[in-house]
Homo-oligomer: A and B are copies of this chain.
Amino acid sequence: MSNKKKIGILGASGYTGAELVRLLLRHPKVEIGLLTADRRAGQMMGDVFPQFAPYQLPQLVTIDSVDWAAAGLDLVFCALPHATTQTVVQELLSKAPDTKVVDLSADFRLTDPAAYEKWYGHAHHALDLQQEAVYGLVELYRRDIKKARLVANPGCYTSCAILPLVPLLKAKAIETDEIVIDAKSGMTGAGRSAKEEMLFSEVSEGFHAYGVGHHRHMAELDQEFSKAAGKEVTPSFTPHLLPINRGILSTIYVRGRRGRTAQDLHAILAEFYAKEPFVHVLPFGKTPQTRHVRGSNMTMIGVAADRVPGRAIVVSTLDNLTKGASGQAVQNMNLLLGFAETVGIDQPAVFP
């Protein structure tokens, strides 16, 4: 009999669900025991994602059909749309309180109920869990995550901005009122729903900004930046859509505080991440490319001097489906279940 931990994935027909399956299929310490996908229930995973046809996986079922108490799941990944997540997780944890949950939606990322209500337009339906949840960016909250039951996996844009900026804010090394984050994301970040603006012919051979001046990931940025800086921080942030599948790259413009140079900022980041397996700081002056983290859980960060005196340009990149979502989620799972942090997610990037 297998002594592997038994894992469930809610929302397996989306891209983050598929990425979880990809990573878990070769994770030596777990087995997939449950896959839900309400609209595709009754089908096999290979019908929804043909790359999995050669593998043995449980049939897709609806969430409602799951008996949480009897399911015997050690950990559940929740890759459901925002809002429905709250009630599903509440139900799950009331029936199976010992199950660990890593939630990939935005539902438990904001700690302030008022902030949640402001950005999402309704009161949170599971305030207790909102308070219980730990923000799942391992590099910043490793200790808390190890003790947690419910982890809120961070957003892809936010991870790509928090990782380079929080160490600088904690060190009070940059001005807090001049931060500009120009972020570009591959299309998988927009999910798998069939919308005209996401059709191949609307996206390929082109580029554009969206949500200019107002995007929900700003709430997470504000929360984490303000916490790090010890005061309210409101960065400028503009997301754009790249005609690629995977990858986020953020070009971040900052001004050093009290004479800090770009090299000083680089030194802070290099030291902060020196021992981290999933954050690689490039030599000063070099900047990273999305393609070199494709399919991997790696974050790459570069720092260069701006020609404008006192200013620096920080460039960070990660794969939005891996370190920006499902790889990060498995990293959280590894901590929650007591595994080595890198197991199952240490593959190098797929380039070219």
Q: Which residues of A contact B (CB under 8 A)?
A: 15, 18, 21-22, 25-26, 49-55, 177-178, 180, 182, 184, 187-188, 192-196, 198-210, 212-214, 218, 234-236, 238, 240, 242-247, 249, 251, 253, 280, 282, 285, 287-296, 298, 300, 302, 304-308, 311, 313, 315, 321, 346-352
Contacts and interface: CB of A to CB of B under 8 A. Distances in A.
Nearest to A311: B236
A50 B294 contact: no
This chain's copy number in the assembly: 4
A180 B213 contact: no
A48 to B, nearest CB: 10
B22 A290 contact: no
Given A195-B194, A208-B287, A249-B207, A295 B350 contact: yes
A201 to B, nearest CB: 4
Contacts of A280: 53-54
Given A54-B298, A205-B244, A247-B207, A346 B199 contact: no
Contacts of A290: 206-208
A212 B300 CA distance: 16
A273 B247 CA distance: 36
Contact of A196 (B51, B192, B204): B192
Contacts of A305: 213
